[in-house]
């Protein structure tokens, strides 16, 4: 341990991202110093700048990676027939995906204020694309006559807020298993938009 010189370590880059992710989620972007991140990785603060241009870009990269992962995963997810089946697939996907990445989700919601305007617009654009997928499902269900929502845009935000709320209390190994959580929330989502 306690290396003092030389490039004895590869994969420092990913370790920086991991440490920043964890520390930002725990203490908040503004409250975490570059020295803290460096300490968690086991290097001096100056060494971080071999991998990232600055702190702001580090935050943006973490958020962007999360949103890209989300959009890739939802695109890869099977897309069943019928709005009801699609809504169920979306609900279960959302809960599972988000419960597996509590730190990323926390940062993506809580640290938007700390993005500069350009970076904020980037992330909000990605989030909008995800929300539009649910909105499309709801509109399809209204057309099919299986859903009754007076305002699909608002219903989208309501459902996503409810589902993302799982992350505020769910802990792996707690009272409820993830399949049980999925079941409870799917029951509520289904009924909330039902015709």
Partner DNA sequence: GTCTATAGCGTGATAGAC
Partner DNA sequence: GTCTATCACGCTATAGAC
Provide the binding-site residues for DNA, judged by CB under 7 A.
3-9, 12, 32-36, 38, 42-47, 49-51, 53-56
**Interatomic CA distance for residues 94 and 151, integer angstroms:** 21
Asked if 192 contacts 159 with a C-beta cutoff of 8 angstroms, the reply is yes
At closest approach, how far in Å is the CB of 53 from a second copy? 20
Residue 77: helix, strand or coil by DSSP?
Answer: coil
94-123 residues in contact with a second copy (CB under 8 A) are: 110, 113-114
Cα distance between the two ends of the chain: 63
Residue 147: helix, strand or coil by DSSP?
Answer: strand
54-93 residues in contact with a second copy (CB under 8 A) are: none
Find which of a second copy, DNA, none residue 172 binds, CB within 5 to 8 Å per kind: none
Find which of a second copy, DNA, none residue 176 binds, CB within 5 to 8 Å per kind: a second copy
At closest approach, how far in Å is the CB of 117 from DNA? 16
Classify the phi-psi angles of 79: left when phi > 0, otherwise alpha if psi is within -120 to 50, otherwise beta: beta
Find which of DNA, a second copy, none residue 157 binds, CB within 5 to 8 Å per kind: a second copy
């Amino acid at each position: 341990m306690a290396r003092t010189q030389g490039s004895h370590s590869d994969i420092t880059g990913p370790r920086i991202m991991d440490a920043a992710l964890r520390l930002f989620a725990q203490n908040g972007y503004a409250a975490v110093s570059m020295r803290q991140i460096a300490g968690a990785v086991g290097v001096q603060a100056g060494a971080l700048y071999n991998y990232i241009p600055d702190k702001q870009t580090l935050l943006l990269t973490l958020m962007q990676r999360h949103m890209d992962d989300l959009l890739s995963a939802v695109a890869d997810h099977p897309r069943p027939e019928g709005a009801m089946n699609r809504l169920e697939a979306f609900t279960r996907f959302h809960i599972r995906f988000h419960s597996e990445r509590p730190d990323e989700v926390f940062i993506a919601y809580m640290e938007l204020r700390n993005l500069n305007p350009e970076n904020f617009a980037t992330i909000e654009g990605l989030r909008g694309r995800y929300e539009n997928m649910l909105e499309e499902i709801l509109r399809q269900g209204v057309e099919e006559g299986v859903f009754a929502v007076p305002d699909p845009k608002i219903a989208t935000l309501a459902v996503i807020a409810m589902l993302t709320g799982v992350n505020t209390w769910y802990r792996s190994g707690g009272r409820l298993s993830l399949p049980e959580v999925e079941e409870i929330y799917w029951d509520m989502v289904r009924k909330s938009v039902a015709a």
